[in-house]
Chains A and B, each alone.
Chain A
Amino acid sequence: MNLLTLSWKYLSFRPLSTGLNAILLAFGLAIITVLLLVQHQFEQKMTRDAAGIDLVVGAKGSPLQLILASVYHIDFPTGNIKMEEAQRISRNRLVKQVIPLAMGDNMQGFRIVGTNHDYLSLYEVSFATGKAWEFPFEVILGSSAAQALGLKLGDTFTGSHGISVGSHDHDQQQFKVTGILAPTGKVVDRLVLTSIESVWYTHDEQGEESIATEEVALPLEEGATHEEEAHDAHSEAMDPLKVPVATQGFPASNQEREVTSLLVRYRNPMAAIQLPRMINSATSMQAASPAFEMSRLFELLGVGISLLQGLAIALVIIAGLSIFIALYNSLKERKYDLAILRALGASRAQLVTLVFLEGISLTTLGALLGIAFGHGFLAIIVELTSQEVVSLVDPWVFLPEEGFIFGYALAVGMLASLIPAWSAYQTSIAKQLTKT
């Protein structure tokens, strides 16, 4: 028997009041935990995914949308740009490196992104198995994409049009998996990567088929002939599917081609000043800086976050008050108990400690529950919304900042116990015991 056991006995003697107060506090602290986790992980991931990208160039539209689509692959692209114009940017003396991206398809919600091998080195990927693509329609899968799609090396699949699920399939050409990446914790984990040529050819077929069907409604059995024609249309000398794709820079093409966006790395700091202005004013494209757009986004989200923080603080304060009232009331009922304890040899200091222990045990319980609720709540959200931005968050990461939550809980417990502890200190034994 000691003071801690005694305080626990008193708490568990009133399970409803104790439970209610612990849960009330836990909800407040759970919101704080969720905010902490989400904010920390988002900022960390956002920063890591944008590392090495100084500027994104794409079709005119919302600069934030361009960044979200091209760097984080969560929003729709603003449109396409002419490859000719894009190539002109890459020749600019302020530009060190340009990685072109071509988007437009998905595989069960995982985006198929056409690019070159520079993209792989940008994210410092390593292969769990296989190797990078060399021919059109060869793809590599990010680790989470591979896991979710259940595809293995050598498997084939068809993509669907659009960058989210539910559109028609490109069933003319099968993609073949040539490599699967090791987990990186970055955006590439949930992408399907291929060459720009693959993306082009997928859409060529689509386009020409629709043209063909417009001209002549071909009977079904002649489908094969039509497909050959479609191929012939863009294979001048030889079948383009047998030609190795460009692993760096832009792929060669004798047609007017488009890409979706460019990830640009500056050659020198001067570029940060001149290049965006030049692109925005002198071309039909727009340039957006990931760092700037993301800080703007966090500013916008900041309002919502402050609101939630306010709610959390209000909950914690209410919980503190409720714990205070519970302690105070139970102490009033227990004045006699306290007098008895004194008669049994307890000192005033021990009674004060007992009251504080009770308050602090209660809030510590609240803190433990709060952190558990926070992580659990986040896990449920992540589970329910697979494939969205939210799925970037790992609910089972524990941050050192969560120690602060125990700090808050401790402070709430101390504050709530102050007045009850003082009244326990003041209890006169003789007066209590002679009162009947």
Chain B
Amino acid sequence: MLLQTTSLRFAYPGQAPISFPDISLAGGEALLLLGQSGSGKTTLLNLLAGLLTPSQGTVMLDGVNLSALKGHRLDLFRGQHIGIVFQKPHLIAALSVKQNLELAQFFGKKKGLSPADLLQDLGLAAKATAAIGTLSEGEAQRVSIARALVNSPKLILADEPTSSLDDLHAQRVIQLLKAQAAKIGAALIIVTHDQRVKSEVSQVLEVKSV
């Protein structure tokens, strides 16, 4: 298994701890995380990304215990092996499209995919030197997907990637994520409550607050 979590628990200060179901996912597989607002979906995603440290349990990614990594080593591991697509694109507005991808490679200290090829794949070749401010929402979301993919990570995490997109773009984004994840053999986890996405992914895990 590429990704394996065991008995993850996390507690926000002053709140009851949340327990999460175990996840095991092979490379190239996709998983949909469903759950109501406040069920802890995003918390689980943050634990998987190493942005939060679990109070109990482990996240193993490709044989590395994420919870055991600290400080800069964790940051670097995340940069190299985990690609994150956020709810909103959140690109660096001071940089061009291509520079946003190069930035990910700089911080990940990794030459994964060629930014130019990737932009070509995602139909963004013409926008490579465009300023972020000139992109449409759909384009910006595709750029943020490209940024998550550019270091050819082992795990791709997408947090509500379709929530602000129309039907056509939502479908394209999901298909793009699935296709690209399969292409580089990465595990893909999508957090969503978007009904449109459910039909696209077969594996589903429901997160319930306990």
Which residues of A are at the interface with B, using a C-beta cutoff of 8 A?
1-2, 6, 9-10, 12-13, 336-337, 340-350, 429-430, 433-434, 436
> Taking A9-B94, A349-B72, A433-B51 as contacts, is the C-beta distance between A341 and B107 under 8 angstroms?
yes
**Minimum Cβ distance to chain A for residue B45 (Å):** 9
With A1-B103, A1-B105, A343-B84 known as contacts, the answer to whether A434 contacts B75 (CB < 8 A) is no
Most B CB contacts (10 A, CB to CB) among A2, A347, A350, A436 go to A347
Partner of A350, one of B84, B90, B94, B107: B107
Decide: B93 and A434 in contact? CB cutoff 8 A.
Answer: no
Q: List 13 A-B contacts (CB under 8 A).
A: A1-B102, A1-B103, A1-B106, A6-B94, A6-B95, A340-B90, A343-B84, A347-B72, A347-B75, A347-B76, A348-B71, A433-B51, A436-B87
Docked-complex contact A345 and B95, CB < 8 angstroms: no
A2, B49: Cα distance in complex, Å? 24
What total of chain B residues lie within 8 Å of the partner, measured CB to CB? Answer: 32
Tell me the residues in window 108-134 of chain B with beta carbons closer than 8 Å to chain A beta carbons. Answer: 108-109
Cβ of B42 within 8 Å of any chain A Cβ, yes or no, is yes
Find the A residue at minimum CB distance from B104.
A344
Contact indicator A345/B51 (Cβ below 8 Å): no
CA distance A350 to B78 in the complex (A): 15
Tell me, yes or no, whether B39 is within 8 Å of chain A by CB.
Answer: no
Asked if A433 contacts B104 (CB within 8 A), the reply is: no
Q: Enumerate chain B residues within 8 angstroms of A337, measured Cβ to Cβ.
A: 90, 92-93
Complex contact A345–B93 (CB within 8 A): no
Set A1, A336, A346: member contacting B99, Cβ < 8 A: A1
Contacts of A430 in B (CB 8 A): 46, 51-52
Main secondary structure of the interface of A (DSSP, over half): helix
Count of inter-chain pairs, beta carbons less than 8 A: 71
Q: How far is the CA of A12 from the CA of B94 in the complex (A)?
A: 8
Chain A, Cβ-Cβ closest to B77: A345
Task: Please give me the residue from chain A that is nearest to B52 by CB atom.
Answer: A430
Partner of B49, one of A9, A341, A343, A347: A343
Given the contacts A1-B103, A433-B86, A434-B42, A342 and B75 also touching, CB distance less than 8 Å? yes
> Does residue B80 face the partner (Cβ distance < 8 Å to A)?
yes
Per-residue contact bits, chain B 48-91, to A (CB 8 Å; 1 contact, 0 not): 01011000000000000000000110011111100010111010
The 5 residue pairs across chains A and B that have the minimum distance between CB atoms: A345-B79, A13-B94, A347-B72, A345-B107, A1-B102
Chain A residue nearest in CB terms to B101: A1
CA distance A6 to B100 in the complex (A): 10
Cβ A345 vs Cβ B109 within 8 A: yes
**How far apart are the CA atoms of A48 and B53 in the complex, in Å?**
72
Q: Smallest CB-CB separation from A349: which chain B residue?
A: B72
- In angstroms, Cα B165 to Cα A323, docked, is 39
A330 to chain B, nearest CB (A): 10
| Bound CA span A434–B147, Å | 19
Whole-angstrom CA separation of A342 from B87 in the bound complex: 17
On whether A9 and B106 interact (CB within 8 A), knowing A345-B78, A347-B72, A433-B86, the answer reads no
Q: When the two chains form their complex, are residues A345 and B75 in contact, meaning their CB atoms are under 8 A apart?
A: yes
Q: Knowing A1-B102, A345-B107, A436-B87 touch, does A13 contact B93 (C-beta < 8 A)? A: yes
Contact partner, A9, options B52, B80, B88, B95, Cβ 8 Å: B95
Which B residues are CB-close (under 8 A) to A13?
93-94
- Which of these, B93, B94, B108, contacts A344 with CB under 8 Å? B108
Chain B residues closer than 8 Å to A343, beta-carbon distance: 49, 51, 78, 84
**B90 touching A336, Cβ below 8 Å:** yes
Interchain CA distance A10-B99 in the complex, whole Å: 13
What residue of chain B has the Cβ atom nearest to residue A9's Cβ? Answer: B94
Residues on B with C-beta less than 8 A from A345 are: 75-80, 104, 107-109
Q: How far is the CB of A355 from chain B (nearest CB, A)?
A: 14
Minimum CB–CB distance from B149 to chain A (whole Å) comes to 12
A257 to B105, CA, bound (A): 90
Q: Across the interface, which residues of A come within 8 angstroms of B86, CB to CB?
A: 340, 433
Q: How far, in whole Å, are A343 and B77 apart by their CA atoms in the complex?
A: 10
Q: Measured between alpha carbons, how far is A430 from B80 in the docked complex, in Å?
A: 18
Name A350's closest neighbour in chain B (CB-CB): B107
- Residue numbers in B under 8 Å from A10 (CB-CB): 94
Cα distance A373–B42 in the bound complex, in angstroms: 54
- In the bound complex, CA of A92 to CA of B179 (Å): 107
Tell whether A436 pairs with B51 under 8 Å between CB atoms, given A1-B106, A343-B78. no
Q: A136 to B77: give the CA distance in the assembly, Å.
A: 92
CB distance from A5 to the nearest CB of B (A): 8
A346-B107 contact given A337-B92, A433-B51, A433-B86, CB 8 Å threshold: yes
Distance between B162 CB and nearest chain A CB, rounded to angstroms: 15
In whole Å, how far is B154's beta carbon from the nearest beta carbon of chain A?
Answer: 14
Q: Whole-angstrom distance between the alpha carbons of A436 and B109 in the complex?
A: 29
A347 and chain B: residue at smallest CB distance: B72
B103 near A6: Cβ-Cβ < 8 Å: yes
* A9 engages B108 (CB within 8 Å): no
In whole Å, how far is B82's beta carbon from the nearest beta carbon of chain A? 8
Q: How far is the CA of A348 from the CA of B77 in the complex (A)?
A: 14
CA distance A2 to B99 in the complex (A): 10
Q: How far is the CB of A333 from chain B (nearest CB, A)?
A: 10
A9 / chain B contacts, CB cutoff of 8 Å: 92, 94-95, 99
Contact partners of B103 in chain A: CB under 8 A:
1, 6, 341, 344
> Within 8 Å CB of B105, what residues of A?
1
Contacting residues, chain B, for A429 (C-beta < 8 A): 51
Q: How far is the CA of A47 from the CA of B78 in the complex (A)?
A: 67
Q: Which residues of B contact A436 (CB under 8 A)?
A: 87-88
Contact digits for B189-205, partner A, Cβ 8 Å, 1 yes 0 no: 00000000000000000
Residues of B within 8 A of A342 (CB): 75
In chain B, what residue has the closest Cβ to A336?
B90
Contacts of B72 in A (CB 8 A): 347-349
CA distance A64 to B29 in the complex (A): 93
Query: In the bound complex, do residue A2 and residue B106 qualify as a contact, i.e. CB atoms below 8 Å apart?
Result: yes
Residues of A within 8 A of B93 (CB): 13, 337
